[in-house]
């Protein structure tokens, strides 16, 4: 089983990426077995539909066949153990808050669950990067730290010059990751998802 930790600043497009990725993994799943759990580790009230279930301290909403979405607050590792026990998923996609540090989440999981393979993807916002990098540099830098894959999102609404400047800037904080330019408002190439899941070589 894998845990994919998806980080990135508020509004970068994480949720759009998560939904597409989950549907890519589940595919045409004729059986109602949970292959993917999307974990929203958020604080506060979450609006869900009438399918919500309250179970062991986390909220569950059925999204589509083979995929559920959990909202969890409280101790991370305890919650993960409960989710694994209850759903036995092939993959947990953990969408971190916009101010979380994915590498810290990975370290926490590794200390208590060393057999779990954790992969980090960070989503960056090409449209707002240059505006955010000065006041938010420490946060953005630490979010990129230790990322295996970096997605530069919203490439369809910036020009080539801006895109090049953003990529060069992002690479100064992590040049070891696999980089992909995407527009999460459109269909994302399956190769990107394969790399996010740790399948195949880098770009």
Above 50 in pLDDT, residue 20?
yes
The residues near 115 (Cβ < 8 Å, ≥ 6 apart) are none
Token representation of residue 1: 């089983």
User: Using one digit for the tens of pLDDT, what is the confidence trace for 101-141?
Assistant: 999 999 999 999 999 999 999 999 999 999 999 999 999 99
- CATH class label, 2-196: alpha beta
Domain ranges for the chain: 2-196
Give the global pTM: 0.87
Phi, psi torsion values for 147, nearest 5 degrees:
-70, 135
Strand partners, 6: 95, 121
Across the range 152-179, mean pLDDT stands at 98
**Average model confidence (pLDDT) for the chain?**
84
* Least confident residue range of 10-14, 49-53, 97-101, 117-121: 49-53
Query: Who's near 191: CB < 8 A, 6+ residues apart?
Result: 200
How many C-beta atoms lie closer than 10 Å to residue 37's C-beta?
A: 25
How many residues does this entry show for the chain?
A: 203
């Amino acid at each position: 089983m894998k845990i994919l930790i998806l980080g990135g600043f508020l509004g970068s497009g994480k949720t759009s990426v998560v939904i597409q990725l989950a549907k890519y993994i589940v595919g045409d799943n004729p059986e109602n077995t949970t292959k993917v759990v999307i974990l929203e580790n958020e604080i506060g009230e979450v609006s869900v539909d009438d399918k919500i279930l309250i179970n062991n301290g986390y909220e569950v909403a059925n999204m589509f066949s083979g995929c559920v979405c959990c909202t969890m607050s409280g101790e991370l590792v305890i919650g993960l153990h409960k989710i694994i026990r209850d759903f036995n998923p092939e993959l947990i996609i953990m969408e971190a808050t916009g101010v979380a540090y994915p590498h810290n989440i990975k370290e926490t999981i590794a200390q208590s669950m060393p057999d779990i393979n954790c992969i980090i993807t960070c989503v960056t916002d090409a449209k707002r990067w240059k505006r955010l990098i000065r006041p938010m540099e420490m946060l953005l830098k630490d979010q990129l730290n230790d990322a295996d894959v970096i997605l530069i999102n919203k490439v369809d609404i910036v020009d080539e010059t801006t895109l090049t400047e953003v990529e060069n800037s992002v690479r100064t904080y992590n040049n070891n990751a696999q980089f992909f330019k995407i527009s999460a408002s459109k269909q994302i190439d399956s190769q990107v998802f394969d790399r996010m899941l740790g399948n195949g070589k880098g770009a």
